[in-house]
Amino acid sequence: MEKIRKRDGRIVAFDSAKITLAIQKVILAVREKNGDLARKISRQVVEALEDKFKDRIPGVEDVQDIVEEILIRNGCAKVAKAYILYRQKRTEVREAKKLLGVEKDELKLSVNAIRVLERRYLLKDEEGNIIETPAGMVKRMAKAVASVDKKYGGDVKKTEEKFYRMMAGLEFLPNTPTLMNAGTDLGQLSACFVLPVEDSLKDIFGALTNMSLVHQSGGGTGFSFSKLRPRGDVVKSTKGVASGPVSFMRIFDQATEVIKQGGKRRGANMGILRADHPDIIEFITSKQKEGFLDNFNISVGVTDEFMKAVEDDREYDLINPRTRKAMGKLRAKDVFDLIVTMAWRSGDPGLVFLDEINRKHPIAHVGTIESTNPCGEVPLLPYESCNLGSINLSRMVKDSEIDWEKLRKTVIAGVHFLDNVIDANRYPLKEIDKITKDNRKIGLGVMGLAEMFAKLKIPYDSKDAIETAEKVMEFIRDESVKKSVELGEKRGSFPNFKSSMWEKDYKAMRNATVNTVAPTGTISIIANTSSGIEPIFALSFVRNVMGTQLL
């Protein structure tokens, strides 16, 4: 037996090892003793095929029919039943994909993944008909991002193939805008942006316009509203009174609501207000009203001074950002308790430790960080953007052990990919283009941690899990830095490298930051794994993604 016909009509080389592996998986699934049974059944299947298909090429279904017959003939009723049920389930999956408009799925994705791709990612014509397959989407990304290698004298075809294999194998996936926009006319590939909001009507509505452009292209935005004068403060030009930052946040929220109606991706914002802003109580309690600021995550920007006041149980000053003068005092512990209470009730606000972030910022000489991206994992300077990608840790396990060499290769390819994205990107604003290329921040992270633990037979809530996670993340960080140093030596360091923290230990560094851990909400669905570093919170649940119900 030399050839076999695939379901899509392609004729490929026959490989009996695939039959053996499939039988072995079913035997293990029903906890039967294996021994040499899988190979024995496989040999009999091949003999039956050679006898039945002497003058013609069998199809995949023909092979599977004979596997069923041989299993039953050998008295393996339990294994045969499991195999039949597996075939039925795979048939249902294929039919579901056809109903969703995907006739050809070389990546063997889950139905949920296909639903998400069909709704948001696969390219469509003007009538809304899907015009690319999931594999076509991956090829589109790989080609667009790999093309950057030409600029640096690299082998574009080799890089394209490497990127394709990595993503087609669901070992790594980039953030949503790269999936949607790579290789298209829009070409905006970053997920995370921070935009400044200054204390004038012109600047506030300028930031609103900039937010709209970022959201339209699939990005999310973070803001600090701490520079806006408090409610009731004087407005010199009109002799009126200011309405305060929370009222302006409502305008940003409503604009996001309108833009997301026609978009591929739900608009998302982070709103931050310093703990010493006079309107901090209104801000902390703002989301207790249902439907208010639905398109915002909010966080209180806390300083060392505030946290020390909480520890010492004393009052602290509220500072008017316009005059820089104290406007009153609050008991720090009362404010902290209110933050905790509101977070328990509504999930907001979070805490952003501003002084600590700026202490650890590798390029503190460039500017002060005031905000993060919508989910809080990427602190950024004003106008800065960052592109993210995540390694699927569940695919880094082989024979119940971590495949460190595969993980190392995936990290190296992931850093290469994300650095290329910076050059392949078309930024919505010239200010974003400049500072992003000056700092070249990337965020390589992970997803599938909980599934990896399951494959390693490690309880998620165990000491062993913590130690394993630390070992994995340290390995990823070290390999990421090595690759960024190598790229810095070959392609040049990021322009603001001089006087950065990296300059103390390295002669070159391509990226100001290399790692972060993102929630990976949608890309983990595509990869059919657990989200980010989160536990698997239920065996079965319903989730809504842009109006698409997923099981």
Strand partners, 11: 5
Structure tokens given for 411: 């990290």
Catalytic residue among 282, 377, 489, 503: 377
Neighbours of 328 (CB within 10 A): 10
Known catalytic residue: 76?
no
Known catalytic residue: 373?
yes
State residue 241 phi and psi, 5-degree precision: -120, 145
Block residue for tokens 């914002």: 269
Catalytic residue among 375, 386, 439, 515: 375
Angle at 536 between CA 532 and CA 540, to 5 degrees: 125
Q: Are 528 and 113 in contact (CB under 8 A)?
A: yes
Structure tokens given for 190: 């970053």
Q: What's CA 34's distance to the chain center, in Å?
A: 39
Q: Are 309 and 261 in contact (CB under 8 A)?
A: no
| Alpha carbon distance 293, 290 (integer Å) | 9
Helix (H) or strand (E) segment spanning residue 550: strand 548-550
Catalytic residue among 181, 295, 373, 515: 373
Known catalytic residue: 61?
no
355, 379, 441, 249: CA torsion to nearest 10: -140
Strand partners, 328: 318
Per-position DSSP letters for 118-185, written without gaps between them: IIIIS-B-TTS-B-S-HHHHHHHHHHHHHGGGGGGT--HHHHHHHHHHHHHTTSEEE-HHHHHHTTSS
Helix (H) or strand (E) segment spanning residue 346: helix 332-346
Q: How many CA atoms lie within 13 A of 85 on its CB side?
A: 9
Where in the sequence numbering do the catalytic residues fall?
373, 375, 377
